[in-house]
Amino acid sequence: MANQDLKNLAVEYLIETTREVKKIASRGEGRQVLGETINRPEDLEIGIDRIGEDILENLLKKHKIKATVFSEPENRDIKNGGEIYGSVDPFDGSMLYLRGFEHSWYTALSFFDKKREPLCCGIADIINEKYYFTEDDGNYLVSMKTKEKKKICPATRKKLTEPIVLSSYIMSSQYSPKFLDIFGDLIINMHPKGLFYPHGGSYIYAFLASGLIDAYVMFNEPRSEIDPGFPIAKKAGCQIISVDSDGNHQDYQFIPGRQHDKVDLLIAVSTSELRDQLISHYVKKYAEKYSFKS
């Protein structure tokens, strides 16, 4: 199977899901609660989450592509054989949609080979009808309305004291206390023209790949919020790493079937200099707050 077949399917998925979600949203539908999300007390599966999964399953049949695609809700993985893996976030923004916010609606899809290396990745901005996508020569932002295609690149800032944009999802108490405990002083002391973007999820890697943010930091990040989107940032040369309390780090890797596991500390950055400074800050603060003194 040619890689181009996967790319064509992914683009078709992004466009079809965007159009169908907007139709459902315009009718005020898709807010029925279908169940809890495994290992995610802050999240729920709602009706609108099923749209992308159904579209993807049909497209895999249409294009005769055999793959195992992992999704966020329990027992909603798509399994039809083959040596291709996929990861999908059918609707990133469920809790906002459930509460009536027309803000931050995305869907993300990635495919991986049998060695777990990324093959392609796409992230759709549903509200603005645009999608971010990996190509052989880099990443692009494409308008669904006009077909305009623009190459995107990550930011190049190297110091935390510069006017960076730092991001972390702290809209839930499941994530905010530890982040603010360790990194809260960074926000307080940010450059006056810097920004703290208090959101995240699978779509945030499009922001990192396109230079909208410089760094994304998360404690206890579910893999289901990483796998569908991180390959686009990796393609851009950004670093997505897991970090332990001693400051040791390793590149984040997709692991099939582990989407419900969590990463203790995830750092995704546009430059190695910012990576090193964030790790140093973490190690210092962790030692101050959690190490036992004799």
Question: For 103-154, how does the pLDDT look when each residue is reduced to its tens digit (9 = 90+)?
Answer: 999 999 999 999 999 999 999 999 999 999 999 999 999 999 999 999 999 9
CATH number at residue 144: 3.30.540.10
CB 140 within 8 A of CB 121: no
Paired sense of beta strands 165-167 and 195-197, if any: parallel
User: Is residue 43 marked as binding?
Assistant: no
Are residue 131 and residue 239 in the same domain, yes or no?
no
Are residue 119 and residue 212 in the same domain, yes or no?
no
| 157 in any annotated domain | no
User: Is residue 113 marked as binding?
Assistant: no
Over the stretch 39-83, which tens digit does the pLDDT of each residue have? 788 888 889 999 999 999 999 999 999 999 998 766 677 888 788
Full-model pTM: 0.94
pLDDT of 255 > 50? The answer is yes
| 112 in any annotated domain | yes
Q: Could you give the C-alpha distances from 40 to 32, 88, 259, 265, in angstroms and in order?
A: 18, 17, 11, 17
Are residue 54 and residue 78 in the same domain, yes or no?
yes
| 102 in any annotated domain | yes
CA distance 37 to 43: 6
Are residue 270 and residue 213 in the same domain, yes or no?
yes
Q: Looking at the 3D structure of the chain, how many domains does it have?
A: 2
User: Is residue 227 marked as binding?
Assistant: no
Are residue 188 and residue 279 in the same domain, yes or no?
yes
In which domain, by residue range, is 123 found? 3-151
Which residue, of 103, 123, 151, is where some domain finishes? 151
CA distance 105 to 94: 8
CA distance 261 to 264: 10
CA 117 to centroid of chain Cα atoms? 17
Are residue 175 and residue 98 in the same domain, yes or no?
no
Structure tokens at 27: 């009718």
